[in-house]
Amino acid sequence: MRHAGTQEIKTERLVLRRLTPEDAGMMYQNWANDPQVTKYLRWEPHKNADETRELLTAWALLYPNGDYYQWGIVEKATGQVFGSISVFTSSSAEPERDPWPGFDHTNGVWEVGYCIGRSWWNKGFTTEALNAVVEYWFKNTDSNWLACCHAVENPASGRVQQKAGFVYDHDSVYHKFDGTPVPCKCYALTREHHNILLRG
C-alpha cells in the first residue's frame, strides 16, 4: 500500500500538522485533561502536562514512519491547538472487532479517530478536519476505503461522520485501555463513494 505519512493540511479555518512536545501545554489544557472529552475514548484524562509531553515525545519518534498519521488540529484565527485526528490500523489495535465483511482487507482496516476540546464543540471544526483528512487519504494513498466508528452514546460523532460521507455498516464493541467495553456504530467510506460526493 502506498503511504504518505503525516504532512501538513490547510483548510479554511484550520491547519492540521504534526504535534510536538512543545504542544504539551495547549494539548493538556485544551482537551487532554477533560473527562468530558475522553468519556468515549480509550484513554483516561491526563493527570498533568508532563504526561502529555511524554506522549507527544513518543509520537515524535513515530512521525518518520510513512504509515503513521497523527495530526494536531490548529485554529488559524487563534493559533490554538485544540484537538487531534489520526488514521490508524484498527485491525491491529482491536483484533476482536467485526471483520468488515464485503471490504478488501489486503492492506488492513484503516480507521479515523478524532477528539477536540469542549470550547470548540458545535462549530463544525471536527467535520472540517475529517473532510480534509479523508481528501488527503484518497489523494495520497491507494487505499479503496476508510472506516470510522463512534460510541453509541455519542451520536454527535456519528453526525460528523455522516456529514463527511461515511455510511453506516454495522454495530460493534471496542474496549478502553482498561478493558471497559464500549458499544459502537461503525461506518465506512469507499473511494468510489467519495468520488461521487466530490462530483455531486
Closest of 155, 25, 153, 130 to residue 73, by C-alpha: 130
Write the single-letter amino acid at 33.
N
Residues of the chain short of pLDDT 70, as ranges, are 90-98
**Residue 106: per-residue pLDDT:** 85
Write down the pTM of the prediction.
0.94
For residue 14, how far is the Cα from the chain centroid? Answer: 15
Q: Give the number of other CB atoms < 10 A from CB of residue 173.
A: 13
Cα angle 92, 128, 5; round to 5:
40
**Degrees, nearest 5: CA angle 59-184-99:** 80
Write the pLDDT tens digit of every residue in 2-59.
Answer: 999 999 999 999 999 999 999 999 999 999 999 999 888 888 999 999 999 999 999 9
Q: H helices within 63-124, ranges in order? A: 90-93
CB 21 within 8 A of CB 3: no
Residues 6+ apart with CB under 8 A from 135: none
Pairing of strands 110-116, 81-89: antiparallel
Domains of the chain: 9-199 (3.40.630.30)
The whole-number pLDDT of residue 96 equals 52
